[in-house]
Amino acid sequence: MRQTCRLAASTLEYIEEFIKPGVSTEDLNKICHDYIISHNAYPSPLNYHGFPKSICTSLNEVICHGIPSKKDVLKEGDILNIDVTTYLNSFHGDTNKTFIIGEIPEEIQKLIDVTYQCMREGIKQVRPGGHIGDIGAVIEEIAGDHGYGVVEEYCGHGIGREFHEEPQVVHVGDKGTGPEMKPGMTFTIEPMINLGKRHCKLLKDGWTVVTKDKKPSAQFEHTILVTETDLGHDILTLRKDESLEFS
Ligand code: MF3
Ligand code: CO
Ligand code: CO
């Protein structure tokens, strides 16, 4: 799990310099695909339940599962989530980040910052004896304080030998509810936070999920290991541009 998660994280580190106006999401897909393959791994999304590409690219009002396309060319003011999942030596590692292209409105930067905060505060709840519901409870509270919508139809998940395993990690809920966290468990926390209302719509391609009100949506995702350390967890997909501590 540590090896596959480090590769997923390093793919996001690697792709950053290529994200600029004029580049298509298909270009970014090809770069990530080649990077993952060259590290003797497989991009888990490719052919997963028929998904046609190697990463998910979710632009602006796309909440998740956007399909890379030559037609989606990045421009100044866009926000783009890149979701990378790698399969290395029989294990999956899953992580995503919302990138900004050039200058973006202050209101959208704040959405991104609060979404990152939601993920980090959710991660802080992870420790042996805690409950999965503790995670959604803090995320729902922070997002609610800002008037944002929390997507409920898609959620975090257990991960390991399979891409999506039990338990489901919903990003709303009540403290003390849901499965108990135990050392050795690995799961993702990946809140999708909407500037407007929480409601979403699935496009006819069968994958792309967009906000119903067409306002932007942001997301961050890490794969977490429950540990017996003082912190209670380890962020397996932590990148070099992130700090171990968050406050
Ligand atoms: N990586 C996504 C997640 O965080 C799942 C993508 S499934 C795909 O769970 F088929 F769209 F790739
Ligand atoms: Co995931
Ligand atoms: Co993911």
Query: Distance, CA 230 to ligand 1 centroid (Å)?
Result: 31
The span from the CA of 84 to the CA of 173, in Å, is 26
- The tokens for 205 are 């391609």
- The tokens for 155 are 């959620």
Domain regions of the chain by residue span: 2-242
- Whether 218 and 139 have beta carbons less than 8 Å apart is answered as no
Predicted TM-score (pTM) of the model is 0.99
Q: Which residues line ligand 1 (CB under 6 A)?
A: 45, 48-49, 51, 56, 65, 83, 85, 94, 190, 207, 221
The span from the CA of 221 to the CA of 154, in Å, is 12
pLDDT score for 185: 98
Ligand 2 (ion): residues with CB under 5 Å are 94, 188
pLDDT score for 159: 99
- Whether 124 and 83 have beta carbons less than 8 Å apart is answered as no
Query: Distance, CA 95 to ligand 2 centroid (Å)?
Result: 7
The span from the CA of 132 to the CA of 121, in Å, is 13
pLDDT score for 60: 99
In sequence order, which residues have a C-beta less than 8 Å from that of residue 243 and are 6 or more positions away?
A: none
Query: Distance, CA 217 to ligand 2 centroid (Å)?
Result: 16
Domain covering 2-242, topology: Creatine Amidinohydrolase (3.90.230)
pLDDT score for 155: 98
**Pick from 20, 16, 10: nearest CA to 77:** 20
48 — phi, psi (to 5°)? -70, 115
Atom of ligand 1 nearest to the CA of 164: 9
- Whether 209 and 177 have beta carbons less than 8 Å apart is answered as no
pLDDT per residue, tens digit, the chain (247 aa), is 999 999 999 999 999 999 999 999 999 999 999 999 999 999 999 999 999 999 999 999 999 999 999 999 999 999 999 999 999 999 999 999 999 999 999 999 999 999 999 999 999 999 999 999 999 999 999 999 999 999 999 999 999 999 999 999 999 999 999 999 999 999 999 999 999 999 999 999 999 999 999 999 999 999 999 999 999 999 999 999 999 999 8
Task: Please count the other Cβ atoms lying within 10 Å of the Cβ belonging to residue 39.
Answer: 16
The span from the CA of 2 to the CA of 246, in Å, is 21
Continuous segment of H or E residues that includes residue 30: helix 25-38
